[in-house]
Amino acid sequence: AQKITQTQPGMFVQEKEAVTLDCTYDTSDQSYGLFWYKQPSSGEMIFLIYQGSYDEQNATEGRYSLNFQKARKSANLVISASQLGDSAMYFCAMREGRDFNKFYFGSGTKLNVKP
Amino acid sequence: DTEVTQTPKHLVMGMTNKKSLKCEQHMGHRAMYWYKQKAKKPPELMFVYSYEKLSINESVPSRFSPECPNSSLLNLHLHALQPEDSALYLCASQKQPSSYEQYFGPGTRLTVT
Q: pLDDT per residue over B96-113, tens digit each? A: 766 667 889 999 999 999
For residue A3, the model assigns a pLDDT of 92
Counting as low any pLDDT under 70, the low residues of chain A are 98-101
Chain B neighbors of A50, CB-CB under 8 A: 100-101
* Residues B2-34 pLDDT 10s: 689 999 999 999 998 999 999 999 999 988 999
Task: Give which of B63, B59, B57 is closest to B13, Cα–Cα.
Answer: B63
More confident residue, B50 or A76: A76
Which of A43, A100, A105 comes nearest B42 by C-beta? A105
Chain A neighbors of B33, CB-CB under 8 A: 100
Q: How far is the C-alpha of B76 from the C-alpha of B95, rounded, in Å? A: 20
CB-CB neighbours of A98 under 10 Å:
12
Residue B17: exposed, middle, or buried by beta-carbon count in 10 A (0-12, 13-18, 19+)? middle
CA distance B94 to chain A (A): 10
CA distance B76 to chain A (A): 18
For residue B2, the model assigns a pLDDT of 61
Task: Give which of B59, B58, B60, B64 is closest to B80, Cα–Cα.
Answer: B64
Q: How far is the C-alpha of B28 from the C-alpha of B70, rounded, in Å? A: 11
For residue B13, the model assigns a pLDDT of 94
CB-CB neighbours of B12 under 10 Å:
13
Structural element, H or E, at residue A105: strand A103-105
CA distance A11 to chain B (A): 15
Task: Give which of A91, A109, A59 is closest to B92, Cα–Cα.
Answer: A91
Which of A50, A98, A107 comes nearest B101 by C-beta? A50
**Residues 31-50 (A) with a CB less than 8 A from some CB of B:** 33, 35, 37, 42-47, 50
For residue A1, the model assigns a pLDDT of 73
Instruction: Inform me whether the C-beta atom of residue A90 falls under 8 Å from chain B C-beta atoms.
Output: no
- List C-alpha distances in Å: B93 to A66, A98, B31: 23, 15, 6
For residue B58, the model assigns a pLDDT of 81
The DSSP call for residue A100 is T
More confident residue, A36 or B95: A36
* Residues B52-74 pLDDT 10s: 999 888 889 999 999 999 999 99
